[in-house]
Structures are given as C-alpha cells and as structure tokens.
Amino acid sequence: MPGEQEQCIFCLIKDKKSPSFAVYEDDFVISVLDRAPATKGHLIVIPKRHVSGIHELSEEEVSKLFIACQRIIFAQSQVLDCEGVNLVYSMGSGAGQRSPHMIVYLIPRYKDDQVSIVWNPAKLTDDDMKEVFNALSQVLKGAAMPVIAEKEPVVIEEKPKEEELIEKKPRVPDY
Ligand SMILES: [Zn+2]
C-alpha cells in the first residue's frame, strides 16, 4: 500500500526524512537508536524495504538481516558495558507487532536492568506435543530448508530453569 509506506515512520527514517541516530547502514538495513529504549544502546534494525514481516523476505534478505544483526551485536558487546543482548522480533499483532514495517530490536542487557523477558511454561500433554511435532515436521519436510529433522524427537525430561525462560512482553515503542 503506497499510502501506508508514505506514513511509515521506518520508511521515513530509512529515507532520512525523519531524524534518527543511525549507527549502521548497508544496502539492505539501517539501524538506529530506539527513541524509547528499554536500556542504553537499544537499537532497532530496519529492513530498507517496506515489508510487514519475515515471511516477505527472500532467504538472501534474511541472511543480510541476520549478518547485520551479528555485526551490531558485536559492536554493542564491545562498546557497551552490557552482559548480553536480546534479539527480539515479533511477527503479527498477536505477538506484539505494532508497526506495519518489520523491525528487529537489539536490546543490550545490564545487571539489574528493568527489562522483563520471561514466561511461565505452558502445560502441554504428550498428545499435544506429538500433534504439534507431527504437524510442524511434516510441513517443514516439504520446505526448502537445509536442515530437516528425520530422527525421533529428543525428549527433554528436565524442566527448564526459570532464568532460561524467555518471553517477549511487548513494549509499545513511541513510534
Ligand atoms: Zn515502511
């Protein structure tokens, strides 16, 4: 939708029609400081093409996006006194996507920061697990992907530790 793109803040940032602190740019992405950062050094990685989600990217574009993220995460790790970085991508409003333009957040994490990314484990029965395994693995077998699981699924008996659980609590950016 051309009208949507004209109004799109991320297209405006990409076209330099909206001021931003752009720390990285290549032929496919631009990365700017989030105006409402979760932490110091919180960046937004913006594909320059107006796409609503990862499903609209070619595999080459996904590669470019992740390579850019890798470079930026290295830089964040070098320059900022952070203890880690969360890469957050939300696809669909149900997952917290607020913008019609796909973006990825790279959020540096600091000791005792106030960022909350946790979830409680869902209680799924063995039948639930088998059902979703069968459905997903069947579809993925037909997909053009380099890795296809042919083995029996690995059953994880241990409950994950609480600090290992990650959930995106959608935060509403000021965009
Ligand atoms: Zn856009």
pLDDT in tens, 112-142: 999 999 899 999 999 999 999 999 999 898 7
Ligand 1: distance of its center to the CA of 6 in Å? 8
Ligand 1: distance of its center to the CA of 73 in Å? 23
- Of 113, 129, 128, 126, nearest to 171 by C-alpha is 113
Query: Residue 59 domain-assigned?
Result: yes
CA distance 32 to 146: 32
Query: Residue 121 domain-assigned?
Result: no
3-state secondary structure of 143: coil
Ligand 1: distance of its center to the CA of 48 in Å? 8
Query: Residue 134 domain-assigned?
Result: no
Q: How confident is the model at residue 6 (pLDDT cuts 50, 70, 90)?
A: confident
Q: What percent of the chain has pLDDT over 90?
A: 73
Question: Per-residue pLDDT tens for 79-118?
Answer: 999 999 999 999 999 999 999 999 999 999 999 999 999 8
Q: What's the domain range around 62?
A: 2-116
Contact 10, 46 (CB under 8 A): yes
Ligand 1: distance of its center to the CA of 38 in Å? 22
CATH of residue 66: 3.30.428.10
Query: Residue 173 domain-assigned?
Result: no
Number of domains forming the structure of the chain: 1
Ligand 1: distance of its center to the CA of 16 in Å? 12
Ligand 1: distance of its center to the CA of 89 in Å? 16
Ligand 1: distance of its center to the CA of 80 in Å? 29
Contact 43, 72 (CB under 8 A): yes
Ligand 1 ion: nearby residues, β-carbon < 5 Å: 8, 10-11, 50, 101
Query: Residue 166 domain-assigned?
Result: no
Ligand 1: distance of its center to the CA of 137 in Å? 33
Query: Residue 156 domain-assigned?
Result: no
Amino acid of residue 119: W
Ligand 1: distance of its center to the CA of 46 in Å? 9
Ligand 1: distance of its center to the CA of 94 in Å? 20
